[in-house]
Structure formats: C-alpha cells, structure tokens
Chain A
Amino acid sequence: MNLDLAGLAFDTGGRLLIQKVLAGLPPGSTVTVTGRDPFLTLHLRAWCRSAGHGTTAQDDGAVEVVKGRPDADRWAHAERAGEPGAVARRPPGHWGLAARGALLETGGPEPAYELADRDIVWADLAPRLYAHAAAAQWDPATAVPWDAPFTLPADIEAAIVQIMTYLVENEQAALVIPARLLTRIHPHFREVLGLLAVQAADEARHVDVFTRRALHTGGRMGSSSAGGRASLASLLAEPDFTLASFLLSVLGEGTFVHLLTFLERHAPDPVTRAVTRLARADEARHVAFGVAHLEHQSASDPTMLGRLRGAIERRHDMLIDTAGLNQDVFDALLLLAAGSWTPPALHRGHLAVRQLQADMDTGRRRHLSRLGFPDDEAAELSALHTRNFM
C-alpha cells in the first residue's frame, strides 16, 4: 500500500494519517510512505521505532513501514467492563474507574472496593432517583428571597437562629456520611455513587442556606449541645453501608422531613419558609433512596430486619446517658409555633410540638412497616429512635 503525505509534515497531521492507515492492517503489513516535508523521514522513523513498527528507507526517499505487533498485543486479551445498560452482580476490582461497558486493556491496578456487591449497594430505583435529583437542584442565590424585607420580635428571631444552628450541625453529619460511603462503593454502580454525591451536595447547600439564615439579621449563632453532637457522632460511627443508610436516611432524614414541614408551616419570615421548604424536598428524595435500597436488600437477605433492629438498639444504648434534644432547640420550636409569649399561645405551641413528635413517630413506624417489621415491633423500635431527631 502507498501513502503520499504530499506537503503535510509528520508532526502537523501526518502521524494521524499514517496511524489511521496502519490501524486497518494486520501486523506484518507494509505501507510505503512518501512526502515532501524535509523532516518526514527523520520523524517517521523515530516514531515507528518507539511504536514498534519496522522501517526501511528507500533510495527514492520513500520510507517502507512494516506494521509491528505492539498494538495487537496490547489489546489481545482486552475485555468489556460489563455492558452499559446492565448492572453486574459482583463487578471485579480491576474494572475500577472504567466506564461501564468500556474496553479494558489488561493489567493496571486492582483496587479492592469494600462495597462491590449489587445486593448490598443497589436499588432499582437509583437511576430514576438520580435523574430526579439532578433535575431538582436549586440555586441558593436565586431560590431564596434573601432581599425580602421583614422584622421579627427579638425572641422569635433568637428561636430561628437556635433552630438554624441545630439544623446546620445535623446537615454536616448528613453531608459526611454519604460522602464517606461513596468512596467505598465500586464505581460500576455509578448511579448509586451519583445519588450519594448529589445527596452530599444537597446537604452542603442546606448547611449554606441555614447558616446564612441564622446570620441574616446580623446576630451570632446559637448553641450546640454535647448530647446533640453525641447523637450525631453515633451516626457517623456506623461502618456498615446498609445500617448507616438506614439510620441516616430512613430514620434520621425521615424524621427531619417532618421537622422541616413543621418549620415551613410556622416560619415567621419568607427566608425561613423558603430554606425549610427547599431542604424538605431534598430530604424526601434521600429518604426514598434509603427505603428503596433497603427494600431491594430485604428481598435477598432474610437476616436484614434483625440487623436493622440491632442497629437501632445499639444506638439507643450508646445514647441512653445523653440529654437528647438540646433544650434550647425544643424551647425554640415551641416558641416558634406559639408565635408570642401569651399563655394561650404557648399552650398552642406546646400542642403543636407534641403533634410534631407524634407525626415523626407515625412516619418512622410507616417506614419500618414497609421494610417488613410487624406493627408492634415498628412502634417499639420507633420509640427507641434518638430524641435528637436525626
């Protein structure tokens, strides 16, 4: 075969043309390359040497290239990393970061992913939830009416600041947990990774808007109780993917959805109303994945309910000597629902907080029942959930 590069230099596109011609030929094939660029022979022979092709310079200035074996050898035992549309049961470690369905050159690293079993990490709902999550992202700068004017009584403002301070530390925990989990999962399960990444990004945005709301009127942050932080630390201590997902997404965030609903309903200003509404929609999605994931797993693992029960009990035992919900937060919720310091208003506030706690309990029991717990056991386990809500 002959290939005339005319005036094209090897380093300005000639190489591509030669590579294209060689790519279609079996090893041992010969291509005679001609051209007018003065560096052509020098560059072509140097490149062929490094690429494993043979060359012979002919008297008329042409170079005869004999295609070598390296290209064929490099891909001789290549395999596909599964298929793009199918999720493998146990993807091998050496598929690593490659795209699902990519052609893999043999060799390379063999990372050991702790979570590489479809039955442990996967939920059939994950691709759809990821798509929904990606479409539901909001911009804190424009989604919240930061410029809307309002003035609150000092005590009500202080209650909001205290609640926001509490929310921030809870959202910090909710950010760290999925972020840590996703590094342990085989990238083959990319929709799950994507979902956890969006979840972490959601929480980062919540931390941002709750902080901005707390500082919106120029005051200082509220208090953080030791018991609240102990409760969150016990959440972070759970190494098991399924159990961590259960405690955080199903019980913790499931409870938080009710709290955010309560805050939106009683919000005394447009900024608080917006940030709690936006966060609630995100949290509901996180709960949906947690429940879907556990449903997928319980179908294949008859021991799962026992493990979930053990996780709730262990966490309860760890927290039995702690104070539970920060008293300042509890009081702030009551005052917020009351709206003023009159005795009838405070009574209304008290009833509203009691209703909130009842709603939280009902929600947890519903989720537990859905996972397969009998009603009496679901009620018992719901009662053991941390008094810190998350």
Chain B
Amino acid sequence: MTAFTMGAVAYDPKVVTIWNGFRSWFVASGLPFDYVLYSNYERQVEDLIAGRIDAAWNSPLAWVRARRLAEAQGLTIRALTMRDTDRDLATAIVTRADSDIASVEELRGRTVATGAVDSPQATLLPLDHLRRHGLHPGTDFTVRRFDVGVGLHGDHIGGERDAARALIAGEVDAACILDGNHLLFTKEGVLPSGSTRLLTTTGRYDHCTMTVTGSADPDRTARFGELLRSMSYADPAVRPLLDLEGLTSWEDGRTDRYRMLEAAVTAAGFYDAAGTVTAAEYQP
C-alpha cells in the first residue's frame, strides 16, 4: 500500500526536521505517511490538482490557486485542517514616527515598501487594502517591492525585514508588515520601539491550510485529519515539532477568511479565474 503523501514547500531547512518527525509519528499511529518537498508553491499546487500527492500544506495564496484550478476542472477541494496560529492575522501599514504622513490618504504620491511579489500578508493583501481606500498601486503611489524568496508566498521573512529596514533608512515612506512580524522586528531592533506609527490595518484573514482534493482516498484523508487534530501540546513527542512548526493545536480548516485574498488576487491579476498564473514579474 502506498503511503498517504503530503507536499510541503521547503522554505527553511527546519521543514525537513518537522515533517520527518511528524512522519514517524503518523507511521507509529498506524497511518502509512510520507511527504515530498517542493521548491515553490506553484508546482506543489499543480501536483495536488494532478493527483500526484494526496494533500498539500498550502499557503493561503496556494489555497486560492488550488481552489480555482480545482473548480475549473470540476474537482472537489477542501481545507482539511489549519494551525491555531493561522487564524485571524492582520497586516499593518506603518510609517516612521517622525513622518509628515498623518493618514492613509496622504500616501498618495509616496513610496510604499512591500514584501515579495507573491506574499499575501506583506504585498497582495495590504496593497488591496490601499486600493479599497482609493489608492491604486503604481498609479497613486509607488510600490517598492522586496523580492526575497519568490515562489515561497511570503513564507520567507526576509522581504518584510528588508522593507522595514528601508523604512527606517528613509528610503520609503511606509511599509507593509504582518502583525506578528512587526512585534518581532521591534524585539530584533529592526524597528525600535516607538520608531513607527500605525497608519492602517487590514481586516483579519487566515493563513496556511492543509488542502485535500476528492481524488485522495477518503478514509485515509479522514484519518490524516483526525491524527493531526489529535496532536496534543501536552505530548512531549510532538511538542518540539509543534513548536518548530509554530502552532499549539491543529484546528478544522475554514475558508471564509480567504475572501479578502481572493479579491486581492483578482484585483492584482495574480491568477485568473481558472487558476492560471497571470502575474507579471512573477517567476517562482
């Protein structure tokens, strides 16, 4: 019997440690399980839709593309589980504390730093948030993108950190930073406490999701989901892996908090309705 196979994107060497550990745990729990690593989310999503893997540990942007591809091909697709830490994120758009910019409207004609072209949290969502304020990227203000780890959908924090540094250096007027990363950058000293001012915050959205399609064996898919949900933070065998993966519990998947991203993807022309990559300057 072939193992239930999950795809994961190798955005960091720790991914191997995490999924090797989980693999042993799944096998010991009676589920033959294996994983394959991808260098970018686009190929992982394509393999999920083609049925080459049973599940994909997807970024929110990869969920959007997978959903569009699946629906275009008449496949069922669902979000099986997600981390507790994937729920209700927000992105801040900040300026320097001493900036003369007092409101979002005053970003008109200015330069805004973002993360990589394919970062939902540091590019697509905050730019769409500004669009909703009547400010169109590239027209009403200049976008200075920090393309680090393109293809990793913003999992690499480097682009955001570079955007923060550019803000402090006075190279840009504002920067788009995930809430947790803004807190992290204050701790690191990249954005010393009190050095930035909050201009606006996006609405709340969800992050990664374990995506499955109808082509995987339903019993084993169900078992995979049950086992993920059963992982306990009190269990010393899995706690170090949960810490590495950045969660304290696996929760049921939900898709309603991807609506903002769906709209942002469409507005930016990142994917078309059928899931084809249409973004300019995007080469994962």
Residues of A within 8 A of B (CB): 9-12, 38-39, 42-43, 45-47, 49-52, 55, 68-70, 73-74, 76-77, 105-108
B88 at the interface (CB under 8 A from A): yes
Do A74 and B88 touch across chains, with their CB atoms under 8 A apart?
A: no
Scan B186-208; emit 1 where CB is below 8 A from any A CB, else 0.
11000001100110010000000
Note all chain B residues with C-beta closer than 8 A to A69.
233, 248
Contact status of A11 and B84, CB under 8 A, knowing A43-B179, A46-B180, A50-B180: no
Task: Flag whether B89 is at the interface (Cβ < 8 A).
Answer: yes
Q: How far is B200's CA from A39's CA once the two chains are assembled, in angstroms?
A: 11
Would you call B3 an interface residue if the criterion is a C-beta within 8 Å of the partner chain's C-beta atoms?
Answer: no
**Is B218 part of the binding interface, using a Cβ–Cβ cutoff of 8 Å?**
no
B65 within 8 A of A: no
Bound Cα distance from A45 to B201, whole angstroms: 13
Instruction: Report the minimal beta-carbon distance from A42 to chain B, rounded to whole angstroms.
Output: 5
Mask, B84-123, CB within 8 Å of A = 1, is 1101111010000000000000000000000000000000
Residue contacts A-B, CB under 8 angstroms, 14 given: A9-B193, A11-B186, A42-B179, A43-B179, A46-B89, A46-B90, A49-B88, A50-B246, A51-B248, A73-B233, A73-B239, A74-B239, A107-B239, A108-B236
| B169 on interface, CB distance cutoff 8 Å | no
- The CA of A264 and the CA of B201, in the complex, are separated in Å by 80
Given A42-B92, A45-B179, A77-B234, are A12 and B193 neighbors across the interface (CB < 8 Å)?
A: yes
- Chain A residues whose CB sits within 8 angstroms of the CB of B51 once the complex forms: none
Which residues of the other chain, A, contact B186 by a CB distance below 8 angstroms? 11, 43
Nearest 10 pairs between A and B by C-beta?
A107-B236, A52-B248, A106-B236, A73-B234, A46-B179, A46-B180, A73-B233, A70-B248, A11-B186, A76-B234
- Among residues of B, the one whose C-beta sits closest to the C-beta of A15 is B183
Cα A76 to Cα B232 with chains together (Å): 11
| Residue on A nearest B177 in the bound complex, by CB | A42
Q: Is the CB of B180 within 8 A of A49?
A: yes
A379 to B148, CA, bound (A): 78
Contact A52 B201, beta carbon cutoff 8 Å: no
The interface on chain B, measured as residues whose beta carbon lies within 8 A of the other chain's beta carbons, has a size of 29
User: Contact between A52 and B194 (Cβ–Cβ < 8 Å)?
Assistant: no
B142 near A: Cβ within 8 Å?
Answer: no
Q: 12 other contacts beyond A10-B183, A108-B236, with CB at 8 A cut-off? A: A9-B193, A11-B193, A12-B194, A42-B198, A43-B183, A45-B88, A46-B180, A49-B180, A50-B85, A52-B249, A69-B233, A106-B236
B40-95: which have CB < 8 Å to A? Answer: 84-85, 87-90, 92
Cβ-based interface call for B182 (8 A)? yes
CB distance from B185 to the nearest CB of A (A): 10
Report which of A10, A42, A47, A49 forms a contact with B87, defined as CB distance below 8 A: A49
Do A42 and B90 contact each other (CB < 8 Å), given the known contacts A9-B194, A12-B193, A50-B85? yes
B88 & A42 in contact (Cβ 8 Å cutoff): no
* In the complex, chain A residues whose CB is within 8 Å of the CB of B92: 39, 42
